[in-house]
Structure 1
């Protein structure tokens, strides 16, 4: 049986997690620099280890169900955050944001993401508490999102201005230079916004769209607002360093979108089955109602989510290795042909 977590533990955990996240983001402002691969890897690995330790604390304070729900929720949110990073790369490239200012933009994007997800968690928890049929809508939405993730024009995301960015371009005075990452500058006595404002607006509206996907997904794993929020905070930890660690490698992970789509399908089906399970069917001849639909356990969910991400990542890396090897072989073949032609020219004849 699942044991309720103490209220003091939940409040203390949320405060500590927010302080850790705030300290990480403060580094982006106090020490603006591009993290080297080793530094970024240490931060990402450290935050991942911290998530595993937190799961162990949940196991000790509550039970294995709490720990399993957190790990499954964290992996789901983390995978969706990695997908979010892909769009961040596109936005940064499209606006030509200098590398030294990208940390500030990511800082603002992560803060907006945290606020939006907190709002959606509160709304989602209230909907679930008052309307049991909302799981049908969540499930259907995730199935649709999975389809667009796998077969939609994912590469086009972030390539064009959305309505908010277009509104800002039309109604605000925006300069052409970033001016050391500031939001506003004075040019010839006139006040202008810098392109950094447009970047932040683009990142913020992207976070809004991803929050619409991620919150229903994690509520398919757990209905505990505390675990949902904790998983989201851990997913945002180290996201800034992960951006610089992976960089444009994200664009080469060709099968990542299919792994994320598989996770969304799995959770969507899980939500629908959960809704059918809750809507019990009474016996024909009277008696107690029965729940006929099966429920997917937390540990089965954790296993599927982890397997989907591992398979998608390994398949993408294998495809990269095959393409790179094929490119080297083609280059070697072209070099041999050029050498043969040069030798034939030197000898007064050309190869047939």
Structure 2
């Protein structure tokens, strides 16, 4: 039942985003509408990789599902604030030093190649740098206390492991923004378009997390799709050095094709694996 609820929530946010895109079309024109749609698709597709990281974090700390929702809620709020800061900073830098787009392109190329070379590993989040810093600022309890982020013991305030997870989530989003925001800059540097496309994608993040949590194994090729999108957007920014520009419309179409191809491959290979398990070959 919960999956159905989150599916409806996701549909709601996607529908709202489409309506907002229509509003942009009538108020700002076709080009802005295409830019918004492209930014939204990029952010949504790259968010998939971030969601799988969230799954690893929650699993590592043994966070129960009923507690995950609160962490994700505050995580989304924090992400909205952080994105605004990053986007304003990024646009300001680009306006002053347009060549910095090439640097963003190199970052995206590196991140894209990293997607293909980096094998799945069991990450020990307990030794996370952010947690070590947090531990120096405030003592961290080893015990959960419901939904609480802080508890008081012997007249001393402790952060709960739930708060520690929230800090890791926020820090991971900062790292994620280093990829996602430059990727959107490959489509547009309009502050309004970049931020609103980011926000609408983020608003559906919580619902998408719970859906993908149930379908984790069905998206085995999404990582490579995200890698291809990063490589494409990075190359697009670097090509600007030679004044070679790929139109926004073509960029959006290429990104959509990459995304659909990775989803299709994931579904095909998942179905084949299920069929083999259901009907093993007789020797």
Name the TM tier (shorter chain). over 0.9
Structure 1 regions of 5+ residues with no counterpart? 1-34, 278-293, 338-352
| Equivalent residues of 2:80, 2:199 under 8 A apart | yes
Out of 225, 242, 266, the position equivalent to 1:316 is 266
| Equivalent residues of 1:91, 1:158 under 8 A apart | no
Residue 327 of structure 1 corresponds to 277
Residues 133-171 of structure 1: per-residue CA shift (max 9 Å, x gap): 111101111101100112213545675532111233466
Residue 28 of structure 1 corresponds to none
Instruction: Give TM-score, length-normalised by structure 1.
Output: 0.76
- Secondary structure of 2:152 counterpart: strand
Matches within 5 A, 1:263-278: 263-277=229-243
- Secondary structure of 1:208 counterpart: helix
Change (3 A) 1:191 1:124: closer
Matches within 5 A, 1:1-352: 36-156=2-122, 159=125, 161-169=127-135, 172-277=138-243, 294-330=244-280
Q: 2-side partners of 1:154 and 1:207: how far apart? A: 19
CA RMSD of aligned residues (A): 1.9
Q: 2-side partners of 1:105 and 1:227: how far apart? A: 27
Residues 7-54 of structure 1: per-residue CA shift (max 9 Å, x gap): xxxxxxxxxxxxxxxxxxxxxxxxxxxx71211111111111221222
Instruction: Give TM-score, length-normalised by structure 2.
Output: 0.93
Change (3 A) 1:154 1:299: farther
Q: 2-side partners of 1:310 and 1:104: how far apart? A: 31
How far does residue 98 in structure 1 lie from its aligned partner after superposition? 1.4
Structure 2 regions of 5+ residues with no counterpart? none
| Equivalent residues of 1:90, 1:158 under 8 A apart | no
Change (3 A) 1:139 1:87: same
| Equivalent residues of 1:43, 1:241 under 8 A apart | yes
| Equivalent residues of 1:86, 1:251 under 8 A apart | no
How far does residue 118 in structure 1 lie from its aligned partner after superposition? 0.9
- Secondary structure of 1:132 counterpart: coil
| Equivalent residues of 1:40, 1:241 under 8 A apart | yes
Runs of 4+ aligned residues of structure 1 deviating over 4 Å after TM superposition are 154-160
The structure whose RCO (Cα within 8 Å, separation 6+) is larger is 2
| Equivalent residues of 1:132, 1:275 under 8 A apart | no
Which structure shows the higher helix fraction? Answer: 2
